Amino acid sequence: MNIEELLRLAVEKGASDLHLRVPSPPVLRIDGALTPLVDLPRVTPQFVKEALEQITSEHQREVFHKDLELDFAHSVPGLARFRANAFLQRGSISIAIRQVPFEVPTIEQLGLPTVCKSLVLKNKGLILVTGPTGSGKSTTLAAMINYLNKTDSRNVITIEDPIEFLHRNEKCLIAQRDLGEDTRSFANALRHALRQDPDVILVGEMRDLETISTAITAAETGHLVLSTVHTASAPQTIDRIIDVFPPYQQQQIRFQLSLVLEAVLSQTLLPKIGGKGRIAAFEIMIGTEAIRNLIRERRTEQIPSYLQTGRQHEMQTMDQALEELVRTRKVPLEEALQRYSKPEELRRVRV
């Protein structure tokens, strides 16, 4: 099979990812589980080299040979878009390819919290979606932008690595910039975005001090900024942002963050009962005055107790989200137990 036939097979089987790695056979990730295609030949160095040549441009291959890493997007007309990463392991090329549907999913289709709708309609502030790699953060942000695009008229600038979902202008005017192809860095693109008359700026990831600092400034100056952080909870997210800065700046950043932070949505994916697809569980922190005070006063360890009692503000802990998914028979108890802070308590939940 050539690479396009493998991509078609991945889509037909409902796989989220395709892995090409010497000397294994092609491997699909279906509903979170790795599934080797044992009926197919093992991947050879020549096969994966030819596959990379078929789905990249000459410029992209030059970048790969220079950096030994490459993030890129690839489209198969009538099938799907794909986000891919090429890398070397033990001297041979490997490729990890993730499927990105042509149609942007809706908040309802993904089962996202309804608070996502009101958050993305805010006029300014900082909204962070957090979680481990592969937890669906980019998809959540795409669904929120999709809802905004159908609901209100805004100028939206996105900076992505790489561009995954393609947004068509509906009520919004949307410019999507690809890191590497359209701009050199998140920080540089974000700085220039402030001169492009934006209402909303989406930054694919807040990776470094300059990007984080510029994002906070953009939120302070009347823009709505959405981004992701690789953290597992709201308190951890706040601490991670503060810790990026040198000690003499941290109190000032803490104060600024307390003023602009509108929400932190921390998510994890779980397989559904019956093994058909996955569903996200969310910890939700909203920037209430009480939460802002905790951030300013360095009391982030107290945030979970405020989330637990903050239902009137649509807040919840990850444990509460997992309990609800178990109670409503959406996810297996065994899967929820792996992510629950006190597993013995969850076992007592009646389903």
What Cα–Cα distance (Å) separates residue 233 from each residue in 13, 223, 281?
A: 33, 24, 12
pLDDT in tens, 16-70: 999 999 999 999 999 888 999 999 999 999 999 999 999 999 999 999 999 999 9
How confident is residue 107, by pLDDT bands cut at 50, 70 and 90?
very high
Ordered DSSP codes for 36-89? E-TTSPPP-HHHHHHHHHHHS-HHHHHHHHHHSEEEEEEEETTTEEEEEEEEEE
The torsion defined by the Cα of 331, 118, 317 and 214, in degrees rounded to 10, comes to 120
* pLDDT value of position 58: 95
Q: Which of 133, 140, 173, 167 is nearest to 155 (CA)?
A: 173
Does the pTM exceed 0.75?
yes
Q: Does domain 107-316 have CATH number 3.40.50.150?
A: no
**Residue 54: other Cβ atoms inside 10 A:** 11
Cα–chain center distance at 304: 22
User: For residues 101 and 44, which has the higher predicted lDDT (pLDDT)?
Assistant: 44
Q: Rounded to an integer, what distance in angstroms lies between the CA atom of residue 268 and that of residue 128?
A: 14
Q: Across the strands, what pairs with 70?
A: 86
pLDDT at 350 over 80: no
Give the Cβ contact number of residue 234 at 10 Å: 29
Q: What is the dihedral of CA 57, 184, 101, 23, to 10 degrees?
A: 60
Tell me the pLDDT of the chain averaged across its residues.
95
Mean pLDDT of 251-278: 94
Residue 342 has a CB neighbour count (10 Å cut-off) of: 9
For the chain, the helix, strand and coil percentages under 3-state DSSP, each to the nearest 5: 40, 25, 35
Q: What share of the chain in percent tops pLDDT 90?
A: 89
SS3 196: coil
Residues whose CB is less than 8 angstroms from the CB of residue 144 and which lie 6 or more positions away in sequence, other chains included: 107, 112, 116, 117, 119, 120, 226
DSSP string, 218-241: HHHTT-EEEEEES-SSHHHHHHHH
What is the pLDDT averaged over residues 98-111?
A: 93
Q: Using one digit for the tens of pLDDT, what is the confidence trace for 67-95?
A: 999 999 999 998 999 999 999 999 999 99
pLDDT value at position 31? Answer: 86
Q: Which CATH class is domain 3-100?
A: alpha beta
CA distance 24 to 15: 18
Averaged pLDDT, 186-191: 94
pLDDT at 30: 92
Domain parsing of the chain, residue ranges: 3-100, 107-316
